[in-house]
Structure 1
Amino acid sequence: MTDRFVSNFTNRLDAKGRVSIPASFRAILARDGYEGLYVHRALDLPSLDAGGHALRATIDDILSRFSPFSDEWELLSTALNGASEVLKVDPEGRIMLGEALKAHAGIGDAVTFVGLGHKFQLWDPQRFEAHLETARTRLRDVKRMLGAPPPQGSAGS
């Protein structure tokens, strides 16, 4: 049993606008013990960040790096707390996304759930495929850079 959100799953919204959280993600949330599902708009992506106590702890850790009287703390707290929602998870493991959340992520009739360890993201399936391709391309560049020999004249030559 893992306590990390991994893999990705695409589920369709039902006629009432509900979508089922993947069973493996529900199991992690149940062990986490968070009441509901904490969701906020991703800061720099057209997606939603979601999770429970582990995500909340990460946000609290980030905020603790700033003075609570600083502009940075105010901005981050507004984006991560003030614009967040705690969604109710029904007995069948479904959630209903509000219109503002769906609009931010461009979600229509389906949602792709993407595990990121301590949290997961909710994406429009086509937007996620494009994001995944961008991530793969950028990682190939990073891999090449990491595998390149050190420049001439650098330490260790």
Structure 2
Amino acid sequence: MPAFLRTVIERRGDARAIVLAKHDQFPCLSAYDPAYAALKHAKIERLAEKQETDPASELDYLRRTMMAFGATEEVPYDSSGRIIVPPMMRRKGGLADLALFLGVGETFQIWNPDEFLKHPDIPEDLKDICRFRLEERGL
């Protein structure tokens, strides 16, 4: 895991761990520090309050909380930032030998670089960064 992400995670709390989940829109993993879980829960609650007049809102709320908290895995990392992504999360994220870490505000994403480069909704400027990183590795 890149140092720039570890620095943010360690500033937010003592846990040397990240939480992994299947991203809800992209073929990658969404990741965040354990302290972010409380903030994520508050966001889901606020959304539910906005939608409470909708008859389907309770089921939507249940689905969101199930995916946000039931379909996640907390993974520790060592002092150099190495993590072992569990097999189910590797499958959910389509990860192989290499991983691309992409900071996206309060969270970050972990992509298979090949999938990232093929995805039609990824801006070309970001794909250029991915290509550069692969070239740096001689790939």
Same fold (TM > 0.5): yes
Q: Relative contact order (alpha carbons < 8 A, sep ≥ 6): 1 or 2 greater? A: 1
Quickly say closer, same or farther: Cα 1:134–1:87, change in 2 above 3 A.
same
Please give the secondary structure, in 2, of the residue aligned with 1:114. strand
More helix by share: 2
Report the Cα distance in structure 2 between the residues aligned to 1:43 and 1:63, rounded to whole angstroms.
18
Report the Cα distance in structure 1 between the residues aligned to 2:66 and 2:40, rounded to whole angstroms.
15
- Pairing partner for 2:100 from 112, 116, 135: 112
TM value normalised by structure 2:
0.74
Please give the secondary structure, in 2, of the residue aligned with 1:45. coil
1:45 and 2:45 equivalent? no
Report the Cα distance in structure 2 between the residues aligned to 1:103 and 1:116, rounded to whole angstroms.
22
TM value normalised by structure 1:
0.66
Which residue matches 2:122?
135
Instruction: Quote how far apart the aligned CAs of 1:70 are.
Output: 1.3
Please give the secondary structure, in 2, of the residue aligned with 1:63. helix
Quickly say closer, same or farther: Cα 1:26–1:58, change in 2 above 3 A.
same
Instruction: Quote how far apart the aligned CAs of 1:47 are.
Output: 0.6
1:24 and 2:4 equivalent? yes
Tell me the percent identity: 23
Q: Alignment RMSD, CA only?
A: 2.2
Instruction: Quote how far apart the aligned CAs of 1:61 are.
Output: 1.0
Gaps of 5+ in 1: 1-20, 138-157
Cα deviation 1:131-154 (Å, max 9, x = unaligned): 3x53327xxxxxxxxxxxxxxxxx
1:86 and 2:74 equivalent? yes
